[in-house]
C-alpha cells in the first residue's frame, strides 16, 4: 500500500492496524503450537535460567543476612525466659522447657530498673533537645553566613568527629572535677585571700566575713566553705567547681556543641541547609524580617524532619552511652542509669549451676530491657528518621 500520500494521522493509524494484525497472527500461530512446545520455548531458555539463578541467589543471600542479624537477638530473647533447670538440661538448646519470668522480675526489682529508666529518659531527652537546637543553629550559620575563618572553624568541627574520645578522657575528667570558667573563681578566691592578709578580722573584711557566716547560719547553710576559701589557698577550694555526679557536664557539653557526635549533627544540618534555596531567605528579608525571625518563622518549620532525625540520633546514643556516664558519674548509687543495671541480682543464685552461661543470660536480659524502649521509639519514628537522612544529602 502506498503511504506517501497519507497524512501523519492516517499513517499513524495504519501502523497501529499493522501492529494489531501482526499480534493476531502470532496468537493464531501460538494456538496451533503444542502445549509442551510452548512450555519449552518459554522456560527452557538461557534467559529464564539466568532469572531463576539470580532469584535463588538473592533468596539465599537475604536469608543468610537475616539469620546473621536476627539469630543473636532470638537466642538472647529465648535464654531470658529460661529457668535455672533449663541451663543444666542438655536437651535445651533454644526453647525453654520451663519458661519463667524470674530473671525479668529480679532485674526490675533489685537493679532499680524503673528508677534507672526514668533517670535515663530525662537525661536523654534533655540532652537530645539541647543538642538538636544548638547543632541546628550552628549548622545554619555554617551553611548560610560568610565570616572569617569559616573553613577553619568547620574543619575543627570535623576534627571533633575524628579524634577518639578516649584521648581526651583524662583532661575532660579533670576539667569538670576542677571546673573554673576562664579562671574567674580562682581569681576571686585569690582576691579574697589577699584582702584577708591585708586586713584583720576586727573590721573591714573581717566584719564582712562574720556577716556572711551569720547570714548563712540564719538560712541553715553550713558556712564551712568560707574557712576553706581563706585557710587553704593551695587548691582544696576547687571543690567548689566539682561537677562530677551531676548533670552539669552534660549540660555544658550539649550547650557548647561538644557532646558525643555533635560534630556529625552539625555536619548533617549544614548539608541540609545547603539545599535550602537562598531565595526563601531573600524574600523574607525583603518583607522586613530579620535574621532571627527568618530563622524561627521560615527555616525551622522546614527543618522539623531533620531536627527529629538529629534528636533521634542524640537520644539513642545518650541512652546507651557508657563512656560519658561512666566518666562523670563516679557514684552510681547517687544517680543510677540504665547501663548501671547490667549486673547479677542477688536473688538469682548462680553458684551451683552452669555459672558462665547463666550469668551471660542474665546480663543479656539486662541488655534487652535497656534496648526495648529504643525499639518502641524507633517503630514510631522510623519514617521520619529515614526521610531526614535522605534530605541531609548523605549517601553511601
CA distance 251 to 240: 18
CATH number for domain 112-179+244-391, candidates 3.30.460.20, 1.10.1740.10, 1.10.3720.10, 3.40.50.620:
1.10.3720.10
CB neighbours (10 Å) of residue 3? 9
CA distance 62 to 18: 46
**pLDDT digit string, tens, across residues 233-254:** 444 433 456 788 888 899 999 9
* 176 band by pLDDT with thresholds 50, 70 and 90: confident
* 125 band by pLDDT with thresholds 50, 70 and 90: very high
**pLDDT digit string, tens, across residues 128-149:** 999 999 999 999 999 999 889 9
What mean pLDDT value characterizes the chain? 79
CA dist 132 → 76, 125, 275, 309 (Å): 34, 10, 19, 9
Predicted TM-score (pTM) of this structure: 0.70
pLDDT at 7: 77
Range(s) for CATH 1.10.3720.10 in the chain?
A: 112-179+244-391
CA distance 269 to 168: 26
What is the arithmetic mean of pLDDT over 303-330? 89
What DSSP character marks residue 240? G
pLDDT at 358: 79
**pLDDT digit string, tens, across residues 15-72:** 888 888 887 777 666 655 566 666 666 666 777 778 888 999 999 999 999 999 999 8
pLDDT at 139: 94
Would you list the DSSP string of 184-213? HHHHHHHHHHHHHHHS-TTSTHHHHHHHHH
pLDDT at 343: 78
* 229 band by pLDDT with thresholds 50, 70 and 90: very low
pLDDT at 232: 43
Rounded to 10 deg, the angle between the 150-162 and 262-274 helix axes is 130
Residues 6+ apart with CB under 8 A from 195: 204, 205
Amino acid at each position: 500500500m502506498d503511504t506517501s500520500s497519507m497524512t501523519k494521522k492516517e499513517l499513524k493509524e495504519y501502523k497501529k492496524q499493522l501492529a494489531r494484525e501482526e499480534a493476531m497472527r502470532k496468537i493464531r500461530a501460538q494456538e496451533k503450537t503444542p502445549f509442551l512446545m510452548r512450555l519449552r520455548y518459554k522456560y527452557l531458555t538461557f534467559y529464564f535460567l539466568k532469572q531463576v539463578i539470580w532469584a535463588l541467589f538473592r533468596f539465599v543471600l537475604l536469608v543468610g543476612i537475616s539469620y546473621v542479624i536476627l539469630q543473636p537477638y532470638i537466642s538472647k530473647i529465648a535464654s531470658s525466659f529460661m529457668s535455672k533447670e533449663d541451663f543444666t538440661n542438655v536437651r535445651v538448646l533454644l526453647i525453654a522447657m520451663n519458661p519463667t519470668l524470674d530473671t525479668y522480675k529480679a532485674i526490675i526489682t533489685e537493679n532499680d530498673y524503673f528508677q534507672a529508666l526514668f533517670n535515663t529518659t530525662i537525661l536523654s531527652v534533655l540532652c537530645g533537645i539541647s543538642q538538636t537546637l544548638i547543632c541546628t543553629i550552628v549548622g545554619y550559620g555554617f551553611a548560610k553566613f560568610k565570616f572569617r575563618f569559616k573553613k577553619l572553624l568547620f574543619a575543627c568541627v570535623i576534627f571533633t568527629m575524628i579524634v577518639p574520645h578516649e584521648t581526651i578522657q583524662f583532661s575532660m575528667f579533670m576539667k569538670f572535677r576542677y571546673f573554673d570558667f576562664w579562671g574567674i573563681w580562682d581569681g576571686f578566691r585569690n582576691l579574697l585571700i589577699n584582702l584577708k592578709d591585708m586586713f584583720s578580722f576586727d573590721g573591714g573584711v573581717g566584719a564582712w566575713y562574720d556577716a556572711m557566716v551569720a547570714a548563712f547560719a540564719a538560712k541553715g547553710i553550713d558556712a564551712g566553705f568560707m574557712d576553706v576559701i581563706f585557710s587553704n589557698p593551695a587548691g582544696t577550694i576547687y571543690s567548689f567547681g566539682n561537677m562530677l555526679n551531676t548533670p552539669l557536664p552534660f549540660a555544658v557539653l550539649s550547650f557548647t556543641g561538644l557532646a558525643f557526635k555533635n560534630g556529625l549533627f552539625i555536619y548533617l544540618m549544614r548539608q541540609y541547609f545547603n539545599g535550602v534555596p537562598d531565595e526563601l531567605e531573600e524574600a523574607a528579608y525583603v518583607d522586613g524580617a530579620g535574621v532571627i525571625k527568618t530563622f524561627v518563622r521560615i527555616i525551622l518549620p522546614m527543618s522539623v524532619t531533620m531536627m527529629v532525625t538529629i534528636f533521634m540520633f542524640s537520644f539513642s546514643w545518650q541512652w546507651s552511652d557508657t563512656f560519658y556516664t561512666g566518666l562523670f558519674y563516679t557514684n552510681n548509687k547517687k544517680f543510677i542509669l540504665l547501663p548501671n543495671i547490667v549486673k547479677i541480682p542477688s536473688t538469682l543464685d548462680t553458684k551451683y549451676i552452669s555459672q558462665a552461661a547463666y550469668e551471660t543470660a542474665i546480663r543479656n536480659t539486662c541488655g534487652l530491657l535497656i534496648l526495648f524502649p529504643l525499639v518502641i521509639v524507633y517503630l514510631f519514628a522510623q519514617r521520619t528518621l529515614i526521610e531526614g537522612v535522605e534530605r541531609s544529602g548523605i549517601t553511601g
